Amino acid sequence: MSSGFPDRRMRRLRRTEVWRKMVAETRLAPEDFVYPMFAVEGSGVRNDVKSMPGVQQLSVDCLVDAAGAVHAAGVPSVILFGIPSEKDAHGSHGYDPEGIVPTAIRALKEQIPTLNVWADVCLCEYTEHGHCGLLTSEGEVDNDTTLPLLAKAARVYAEAGADAVAPSDMMDGRVRAIRDELDGANLGHVPIVSYAAKYASAFYGPFRDAAESTPAFGDRRGYQMDPPNAREALAEVALDIEEGADMVMVKPAGPYLDIIRAVREMVSVPVSAYQVSGEFSMIHAAAQNGWLDLRRAALESLIGIRRAGADLILTYFAKEAAEWLKEG
């Protein structure tokens, strides 16, 4: 083979759709997706989340219907967030066995047994101050007193039938605390998907509308990661795996593709990435303005995350993307 042009023509294998498909180095399939859903109390409730087109807060009856449609599109898994009608200083609804998330898990597992159901574990949706843990009298998020509550929430979700628990709080030591609690409760079979490298990101904005979890004061930079740091992400991931994480997550995804790649190269456990609310809403907003094509931009954003090294993608595009992929 000669070293270059005119003998070597890179365009030859790009000429037709069939060639492009055959030589694609990365593939995207409905099985790659996990769809985030927001459960609220009541029945017949479908509240549009204004900043996230097509996303709704759903009461359990509606959530089961919606999850059925997602599952029918070929998406194997959903991750649940709960929005309680009452919040308190301790986030107690978050670990109440009759709370919104355990109720939703039981309904889903009963009505769609083959749907894989993950439960997000965090206190921010349940605390009146909106932080991810308990506060000290000085108003700081208190790592160690928060751990037993996160562990309890994880156990309650696992007892309700969750196929995985996914701590997103970024407290140190929470994976160990959750593993011990699950193992002690005869729930050794339930995996932990840890949000290991979760950055303090502006791209969570729309989610906080959806989950009603905006901190009442301050921000989350004292516990979530600082965007400039990459080596620190690898340290977080290594610690979580040591503590017992079965799968790790990088979040957000699009602005952190280098982190996904670095984590992929370091670990042997599956790597997931969360394409967060802001990434989703940005693409929608541009599409609504006619500035880009929704389908192409969404699929490109997803294949980019896969190419970076993610095995699974948590994405609000899951259902639509699965349908687009089936259309070919």
Amino acid at 205: G
Vertex 34, ends 32 and 35: CA angle to 5°? Answer: 135
Q: What is the DSSP letter of 254?
A: G
Query: Would you say 236 is a known binding-site residue?
Result: yes
**88-119 burial by CB neighbour count: b if 16+ within 10 A, else e?**
eebbbbbbbeebbbbbbbbbbbeebeebbbbb
Token pair of 209 as six digits? 């509308």
Q: Provide the binding-site residues for ligand PBG, judged by CB under 6 A.
A: 120, 122, 124, 168, 204, 207-208, 220, 276-277
Least separation in angstroms between residue 181's CB and ligand PBG is: 19
Q: For ligand PBG, give the closer residue by CB, 7 or 36.
A: 36
Q: Which residues, other chains included, contact 188 with Cβ-Cβ below 8 Å and sequence gap of 6+?
A: 182
Q: Whole-number minimum distance, CB 35 to ligand PBG, in Å?
A: 12
Q: How does 140-179 read in b/e, with b if 16+ C-beta sit within 10 Å?
A: ebebeebbebbbbbbbbbbbbbbbbbbbbbbbeebbbbbb
Query: Would the annotation count 31 as a binding residue?
Result: no
Instruction: Select 104 or 124, whichever has its Cβ closest to ligand PBG.
Output: 124
* Cβ–Cβ < 8 Å for 121, 147: no
Which one from 87, 152, 198, 319 is the annotated catalytic residue? Answer: 198
Taking the least distance from each CB to ligand PBG, the nearer of 23 and 158 is 158
Closest approach of ligand PBG to the CB of residue 215, in Å: 8
Is 122 flagged in the annotation as binding? yes
Query: In 10 A of CB 213, how many CB atoms?
Result: 21
- Residue whose CB is nearest to ligand PBG in the complex, by number: 207
Amino acid at 269: V
Annotated active-site residue 251? The verdict is yes
> Measured from the CB atom, is 204 or 317 closer to ligand PBG?
204
Cβ closer to ligand PBG: 120 or 181? 120
Contact 124, 213 (CB under 8 A): yes
Q: Which of 21, 50, 152, 251 is catalytic?
A: 251
> Is 220 annotated for ligand binding?
yes
Active site residue 50: no
Smallest gap from Cβ 168 to ligand PBG, in A, equals 4
- Residue 268 annotated as binding? no
Q: Is the dihedral of CA 319, 322, 324, 327 positive or negative?
A: negative
- Residue 109 Cβ vs ligand PBG, minimum distance, rounded to whole Å: 22
Strands (E), 172-315: 193-198, 247-251, 271-275, 312-315
Please give the C-alpha separations between residue 217 and each of 129, 161, 172, 220, 232, in angstroms, as whole numbers. Answer: 7, 35, 22, 10, 26
Residue 208 in marked binding region: yes
Q: Specify the residue, 121 or 269, whose C-beta has the smaller distance to ligand PBG.
A: 121
Q: Nearest approach, Cβ of 102 to ligand PBG (angstroms)?
A: 16
Alpha-carbon gap, residue 150 to 258, rounded angstroms: 30
Provide DSSP, 51-91. Answer: TSTT-EEEEHHHHHHHHHHHHHTT--EEEEEEE-S--BTT-
User: Which residue ranges make up the annotated binding site?
Assistant: 122, 124, 132, 208, 220, 236, 277, 316
User: Which residues does the annotation place in the binding site for 5-aminolevulinate?
Assistant: 208, 220, 277, 316
Sequence ranges of the binding site for Zn(2+) = 122, 124, 132
Q: Which residues are marked as active site?
A: 198, 251
